[in-house]
Amino acid sequence: MADEPGLDGLNRLRHDLRTPLTVVVGFAEILASDRELSDVERRDYAQRVLNAGLEIRELIDAARL
Amino acid sequence: MLLRLVLIEDHQALREGLELLLGREGCDVVGTAGTAAEGRQLVERLAPDVALVDIRLGDDDGIDLTRRLLGEDPDRRIVLYTGSSDEELLFSGLDSGARGYALKDGSPRELVEALALVANGGSYVDPRLRPALLSRRSTERLPSLSNREREILDLLAQGLTGEQVAERLFLSAETVKTHIRNAMSKLEAHTRVHAIAIALREGYISPPDGAGLARG
């Protein structure tokens, strides 16, 4: 990733950030609203949120935002 | 009836996540692919009701894949999926012939609504892209649409199919098709959804109310 991304680089970064963010929001919504999740599902979904969150952090670090 | 869907998304976590999330919302995800080549094979083999295609597929391009799939069979229903609200990308995506354009900002339920709309013959542009659609209003002037053409595009934008428009306006389906073809020609649009996008941008029709789905 370029140090100073141009417009196309910024658009790519937006896309790259929103991709794991979609995972975070999608599964966090289920965790927050579905009271019938099993423990296995709850752990699975929480792990997906965690992994996607870590990926977002890496992207932000790599882009030096 | 369950919506039969093929998912083409290079990001593994999102691909797996969407399979699960869209399954919870009532979709039957019949196949998933992480590359354009795999996705093309799946769509050809499984003939889904609709395919969700990520615009950026690693080294591949979802817009090129869409053009190729629709070049083989123009009746395929494809929704492009992107994290970018870039205006040029939007119009390039609409030019490809995709009937839907969804942002990754939307909820799974919104995405399913968009997929269902497109699978049932409608079109969809994410309401968050309305500013991008409207921002080009001041660009080059296009030939004026007739009142009937505007009326038809307006109904398409509200989510009616061509047949429903014909029924609503007491016209034959063929007459409606002719008006749509003429409007597309005047607007230099390649697809119905592209024509709706340009008509919105140029102010010929107003954005639909409610969820803001640009349908047609």
Q: Where are the domains of chain B?
A: 3-121, 134-202
Burial per residue of B117-151, b for 16 or more beta-carbon CB atoms within 10 angstroms, e otherwise = bbbebbbbbbbebbebbeebeeeeeeeebeeebbb
The sign of the dihedral angle between the CA atoms of B102, B131, B56, B125 is: positive
Query: What per-residue confidence (pLDDT) applies to A5?
Result: 45
Q: Where are the domains of chain A?
A: 7-63
What is the secondary structure of B146-169 as a DSSP string?
Answer: PHHHHHHHHHHHBT--HHHHHHHH
- Nearest chain B CA: its distance from A62 CA (Å): 18
**Residue B21 to residue A30, Cβ atoms within 8 A:** yes
CATH number for the domain running over B3-121: 3.40.50.2300
The radius of gyration of chain B's CA atoms, rounded to the nearest angstrom, is: 17
The CATH class that applies to domain A7-63 reads mainly alpha
**Residue B104 to residue A22, Cβ atoms within 8 A:** yes
Q: CATH number for the B134-202 domain, one of 1.10.10.410, 1.10.10.10, 3.30.110.40, 3.30.2130.10?
A: 1.10.10.10
Q: How many CB atoms lie within 10 A of CB A9?
A: 14
Query: What per-residue confidence (pLDDT) applies to A64?
Result: 74
Determine which of A7-16, A27-36, B42-51, B151-160 has the lowest per-residue pLDDT on average: A7-16
Who has greater pLDDT, A13 or A37?
A37
Give residue A39's identity as a one-letter amino acid code.
D
**Residue A26 to residue B13, Cβ atoms within 8 A:** no
Confidence of residue B33 (pLDDT cuts 50, 70, 90): very high
**Residue A26 to residue B108, Cβ atoms within 8 A:** yes
Burial per residue of B182-208, b for 16 or more beta-carbon CB atoms within 10 angstroms, e otherwise = bbbebbebebbbbbbbbbbbbebbeeb
**CB distance A47 to A24 below 8 Å:** no
pTM metric for this prediction: 0.72
- Nearest chain A CA: its distance from B14 CA (Å): 6
ipTM: 0.78
Who has greater pLDDT, B143 or B27?
B27
Nearest to A29 among B82, B85, B107 (CB): B107
Q: Which residues of A touch B13 (CB under 8 A)?
A: 20, 23, 48, 51-52, 55
Nearest to B14 among A7, A22, A30 (CB): A22
Confidence of residue B143 (pLDDT cuts 50, 70, 90): low
Q: B61 - beta bridge partners?
A: B56
Confidence of residue B192 (pLDDT cuts 50, 70, 90): confident
**Residue A22 to residue B17, Cβ atoms within 8 A:** yes
